[in-house]
Structure 1
C-alpha cells in the first residue's frame, strides 16, 4: 500500500496472497514462544492452545468487522491461579476451565458497561492503584514456582535467564530478532541441555506427525467449579487495563499511517468496549476447548508498528496457520522436550516482568502514593495477595473458609475504593453549591 513513498497496510487492507501468508506466519512466530510457554506452565495441551489462539484471533477479527488488529495468545497473568486450581485436591484442568470461561464473562460484562457508561466511569471503580497492585501480586506470587522449576538444574536455568535478559536488552530494535528474546533464550538453554544429554526425544519419535488436539470441555458441575471461578475470574481486573493500553497504543500507530497515506483516521481506540467483549470471547473459546486464559499480545502490536502492517486479513491468515499447527502432533511432542529448568530460567524473568508492569502502570497513570487513599488500597492488596499466596494452596483460611489470595486481594481493594468513593460523594454533596458529576459519554 503506497502513497508517495509511504508503505503500509491499514486494518482493512488485504495484501497479495504471498505477502498475506508470509506476514501471517511472522505473527505466529512472534506469538509462539509466549503462548506455548503458557501451555507448558499450566500443563494444558500445546496443540489445543495453538488452535484456540488462532480461533480467538479470527473471531476477534470478524467480531470487530475487521477494524481491530490484535492477535490473541496465552496470558501470563492467569498462570498462578490456574496452576493453583489445577493442583488443588478439588481441582484439575477441567475445573480450571470453568474459571477461565467465567473470566470471559467478566471481560464481556466490563465491555458492555463501558459501551453504556464510558471508560471514565469504570476507571473510578477500578483505578490504577487497584489494577497495578493486583498485577504486582500476580507476578510476585509466581516467584516460588519459577525458582522451583529452576532448581532442577541451576546452572542451565541461570544461563537461560542471563541469555534471555541480554537478548531482550541488546537486540531491542533490531528487527524480528529483537522481538524474540524469549525464543532465543529458550534456544540457548535447550542447546546446552541437549549437549549435556538432558533432552529426551523419545516422545517425539513415538508421536504421529498429525493428530487431533486433546480437546476437553469444562466440568461445570464439579464440586470445585465455584472455587475455580472465585480463584481465576477476578484476575480480569488486572488484564482489562492492559488490553485497553494495547488498543490505545495500536490506534496511535494506525492513525499516524493513515495521515501519511492521506486516508481518513480510524481511531480504533473508540472501540474499547467492543475490544473487551472480544477479549471475553477469547477466554470463553479457550475455556470451552481446553486452554488457559488468553489476551491480546503487545508483542504482535510491536511487530505491527515495526512493519507498519495493521492488516486484519493478515491476522486472520495468522489465525488459520496457528489452528493448523495445533494438529501437528510432532511439534507438540518436540515442545514438550523443553526441560523444566530451562522453563524456570525463562520464568524468573517473565514473572518478574508481570510485577514490574504493575509498577509501570501506576507510574504511567501517575498514582499518588502520598495520597492516603491510594496508599491504603495498594498496601492492603499487596499484603493480602502476597501473604495469602505464601499459605497452603495460595488460600487464606478465614471463618471456616479458604479464600483464594489474589482474588480476595482484588475484591478487598475494590470494596475499599467504593467506600472512599461513597464518602467522597457524601462530602461533596454536603458542601454548599456542590453539583453532581456530569454523565460520562460512551464512545462505542
Structure 2
C-alpha cells in the first residue's frame, strides 16, 4: 500500500483481512441504499414481486460472478439498476390489471431480464471480435441517450401522482412536504458534500430525514383525525404485512408460473430487453472512469498501465452474466455501480479482493435478513419518501441521457438524427402501452427503442445512396 509513500490499493493488491473487511463494509453501505431502493420502488406499482433479502444476496453473487468473468481485473460492484424500473412498472401494471399472480409477473420479468443479459453479452462479444465501432453504428449516442432519457422521464406522472396523493380532489400537502424535504436534502447534500465517505451516501441521509419527518407529520395524518395514535396503527400494519420469502422468488417457482401466461412474457420481453441499449453506454462510462482513477494511482506508485479502458468487452460480458445470475436468484437486473466507483476514488481503494469480500458480505446479510424475517423493514420507507427519492433519481437518469449525447457530440441539426430522436422521444413518452389484442400490448419504451434503431438504420441506408 505504501510503495513510494503513496496510500491506496490497486486491483491486484490486497490489504490485510481486517482492513479489507472494513473497506468492504464501506462499499457495501455505499451500494445498499440504491440496491434496496430499486427493489422497493419496483414493489410499489400495486404488487410486491421482489424479496429485499434476495435482492441483496443476488447483488453479492452477481458481483462475485462479475469479478470471476473479468479475471479480477475490473474492480466494480454490481447492484440493482434504476434503468429497469420503468419497464418493470409496465409489466407489473399489466399484471395487476389482468389479475395475474406476483409469481407470474416476476417470472416474466426474469425471462425478459435474462434475454437482456444475453444482449449485453452479445454486445461484449461483438466488441471483442469486431471492434467498438460496430456497436456505435447500431447504437449511436442519439439513440442510447434518448432511450436513457425516456427511461428516466417515463414515470414522471407516477411520481408526481404519488407526491400529490390526491384524494377527493384534495392534495395531500403533508405528503408534498415530506417528498420535497427528502428531495431537497439529497440535492443539497450532493452539492455541499464533496469529500469522505459521507459524500457517498446523500441518498441514505435523505431517506433518514424523510422517514423521520414522515413519522412526525405525515403518518399521524392518515387517520380520521391527526393523531400520534395513527403511528401505532401504521407500524402495526407494517408488522402484519405479508412477507415475501426468498424461496418464493426463486426461478423454480416463478418460471413455471410465467409459462402459464405467455402474453405477459411477451410484454415483459418487449418492455425490458431494450433497456440493455441504455445500460451499455453507462457501463462503458464506468470502465473509463475506473481506468482513469486506477492508472492515476498506479502512476503515483510508478506502476504499470492496467489498460482497463481496453476491457469494455469483458465488462459487458460480466454485466450480462451479472444480470442473469441476479434475476435467477430472485433479484432485479442491474449494472455496475457508479456510487462504488466514486467511493473507490475517494478512498483510493481499487482492490478487487475488497469487492470480492463485499460480495460475500452482501450474501451473508441477505441470508441473515431472511432468517430473521426482517426483509419487510423496507416498508418503513413511507410513500412520500420513496416518491421524493424517485423525483431525484428518475430525473438524474434523464439528465444522464442528455449528458451522454453531449459527450458523444451528437449533431442535433442533422435531419437523420432529428427524425430518430423525435420518434424515440414522442413514442416513448407519448404512450405507456399500445394494445395489439385484448390480451397483449406493446410497451411504449420497447416500441420507441426498437423503432428508433430500425429507423436509424433505414435513414443511414438512404443517406449512403450515391447520387448520380
Same fold (TM over 0.5): yes
What residue in structure 2 maps to residue 67 of structure 1? 73
* Cα distance in 1 between the residues matched to 2:267 and 2:183: 34
Further displaced range: 10-19 or 332-341: 332-341
For 1:96, what is the secondary structure of its paired residue?
helix
Q: CA deviation at 1:149?
A: 2.4
* Cα distance in 1 between the residues matched to 2:248 and 2:208: 26
For 1:262, what is the secondary structure of its paired residue?
coil
* Cα distance in 2 between the residues matched to 1:22 and 1:253: 21
The answer (yes or no) to whether the contact 2:435–2:442 under 8 Å persists in 1 is yes
CA offsets 1:329-376 (integer angstroms, 9 cap, x no match)? 454232221111110111111111111111111111111101111111
Q: CA deviation at 1:398?
A: 5.8
CA offsets 1:157-213 (integer angstroms, 9 cap, x no match)? 122111121111111x13111111111111001111222372644477679xxx856
* Cα distance in 1 between the residues matched to 2:284 and 2:334: 14
For 2:274, what is the secondary structure of its paired residue?
helix
What residue in structure 2 maps to residue 365 of structure 1? 408
* Cα distance in 2 between the residues matched to 1:68 and 1:261: 19
Gaps of 5+ in 2: 44-49, 166-174, 220-230
CA offsets 1:266-294 (integer angstroms, 9 cap, x no match)? 11111111111111111111221222211
From 273, 277, 299, the equivalent of 2:313 is: 273
For 1:276, what is the secondary structure of its paired residue?
helix
What residue in structure 2 maps to residue 319 of structure 1? 359
Further displaced range: 394-403 or 174-183: 394-403
* Cα distance in 1 between the residues matched to 2:131 and 2:37: 35
* Cα distance in 2 between the residues matched to 1:361 and 1:119: 16
What residue in structure 1 maps to residue 179 of structure 2? 157
What residue in structure 2 maps to residue 228 of structure 1? 268
For 1:13, what is the secondary structure of its paired residue?
coil
The answer (yes or no) to whether the contact 2:178–2:218 under 8 Å persists in 1 is no
- Superposed CA RMSD in Å reads 2.2
From 409, 422, 426, the equivalent of 2:465 is: 426
- Does residue 215 of structure 1 match 2:249? yes
Q: CA deviation at 1:305?
A: 0.8
From 72, 78, 93, the equivalent of 2:106 is: 93
Equivalent residues in 2 for 1:152-231, closer than 5 Å: 152=165, 153-171=175-193, 173-196=194-217, 198=219, 200-202=234-236, 214-217=248-251, 218-219=254-255, 221=259, 222-223=261-262, 224-231=264-271
What residue in structure 2 maps to residue 406 of structure 1? 445
- Does residue 374 of structure 1 match 2:417? yes
Equivalent residues in 2 for 1:39-54, closer than 5 Å: 39-43=39-43, 44-54=50-60
* Cα distance in 2 between the residues matched to 1:342 and 1:214: 27
The answer (yes or no) to whether the contact 1:94–1:290 under 8 Å persists in 2 is no
For 1:344, what is the secondary structure of its paired residue?
helix
Provide the TM-score with structure 2 as the length reference: 0.86
For 1:67, what is the secondary structure of its paired residue?
coil
Q: CA deviation at 1:399?
A: 8.7
What residue in structure 1 maps to residue 381 of structure 2? 338
The answer (yes or no) to whether the contact 1:135–1:357 under 8 Å persists in 2 is yes
Further displaced range: 309-318 or 192-201: 192-201
The answer (yes or no) to whether the contact 1:130–1:378 under 8 Å persists in 2 is yes
For 1:7, what is the secondary structure of its paired residue?
coil
Equivalent residues in 2 for 1:103-114, closer than 5 Å: 103-114=116-127
The answer (yes or no) to whether the contact 2:151–2:397 under 8 Å persists in 1 is yes
* Cα distance in 2 between the residues matched to 1:410 and 1:96: 18
The answer (yes or no) to whether the contact 1:47–1:214 under 8 Å persists in 2 is no
What residue in structure 1 maps to residue 293 of structure 2? 253
Provide the TM-score with structure 1 as the length reference: 0.90
What residue in structure 2 maps to residue 139 of structure 1? 152
Further displaced range: 87-96 or 246-255: 87-96
For 2:36, what is the secondary structure of its paired residue?
helix
The change in CA–CA distance for 1:397 and 1:314 in structure 2 (over 3 A counts) is: same
CA offsets 1:378-411 (integer angstroms, 9 cap, x no match)? 11110010011xxxxx212469863211011011
The answer (yes or no) to whether the contact 1:279–1:296 under 8 Å persists in 2 is yes
* Cα distance in 2 between the residues matched to 1:23 and 1:73: 17
* Cα distance in 2 between the residues matched to 1:177 and 1:69: 21
- Does residue 128 of structure 1 match 2:141? yes
CA offsets 1:56-80 (integer angstroms, 9 cap, x no match)? 0011111111101110111111101
What residue in structure 2 maps to residue 435 of structure 1? none
